[in-house]
Amino acid sequence: MAKRRSVRTVQQQPRAEERPREDTDTDAVLPAFRSAKRDKPYLIVLAGSAMGVMYHVERETTIIGRGEKADLRIIDDGISREHTRIVRKGDKILVEDMGSTNGTFCNGIRLASQVLAEGDKIMIGTGTILKFTYHDEMDEVFQQHLTESALRDPLTKVYNRKFFLDRVQNEFVYADRHHQPLALLFLDIDRFKHINDTHGHPVGDEVLREMASLMAKSLRSEDVLARYGGEEFAVICRGLELGRAKNLAERIRGGIEAHKFEARERIIPVTVSIGVAAFPDARVRSAGDLIVVADETMYEAKRSGRNRVCVRVVSPNDEETTNVLDRH
């Protein structure tokens, strides 16, 4: 008896050009990858007081220095007012030293003028390093997100504690070496636990966000606002002596007291206690000392009744007094 052979039916596959395009087809959903061109020149600060800053090199000439007229202003030790410049010449980009005191270095070699290439590292002053790179739009968005995540508080979007501690150290070294004034404000929201317990933590978070935004509007562009932790904030004020820093603190305190914080159709009264420390001060010899003084005076403001500004004053005969300002 003959064996029956099994017959398999083989379904013919459609040709590639006849297959329907799937949603995951990169040609259909990611046209940006094909058209993206990395042709936007950037400087990224890798080290120094401005660490994390991205600067798009758009002008024909970009001046870098610590002077007020610099396009990219960096206040670090050893940086001249007009230290170096970035020059666009056709499709080339050059870095040129501007006769700075301490020189400009590229990849460790001192230069007068040099054409920049992708990844070159420029060093100015004693500790500022900038990386030259080209980005496309997707690179730009990613780098900005990365920078924000590393330097910013995720809730309030002001600088985080780590950035603050690094920056206050750099600012103190600069102020000490160049005999410049430096002030530090510490702020704490009064009875913040009561706000959370009464209205809930989401409302407390909204108060923190709104207050950070309100404070930022009162500050100069060179001031640094950071969330120190919980309901505490810090402000580094470059070039401000004690008197002007005291006035700034009182202006911030009054603005927050007058502001209407609203949540769930209710007005939430919010006040802050502020401590002010300043350099030069015979008893402040480091950034750590400055932080301690600002923190101590802030708590003195709380002990004195809250919703007020407190400063520490050292008399010529080295006697220390703590002044609590009357509210206006």
Mind telling me the catalytic residues?
231
Interatomic CA distance for residues 245 and 182, integer angstroms: 9
Dihedral-angle region of residue 121 (phi above 0 means left; psi in -120 to 50 means alpha; beta otherwise):
beta
Interatomic CA distance for residues 64 and 47, integer angstroms: 15
Interatomic CA distance for residues 22 and 29, integer angstroms: 10
Tell me whether residue 182 is exposed, middle or buried, using C-beta atoms within 10 angstroms of its C-beta: 0 to 12, 13 to 18, 19 or more.
Answer: buried
Is the peptide bond between 280 and the residue preceding it cis, with omega within 30 degrees of 0? Answer: yes
CA-based torsion, 206, 208, 212, 218: positive or negative: positive
Residue pointed to by tokens 């004195």: 304
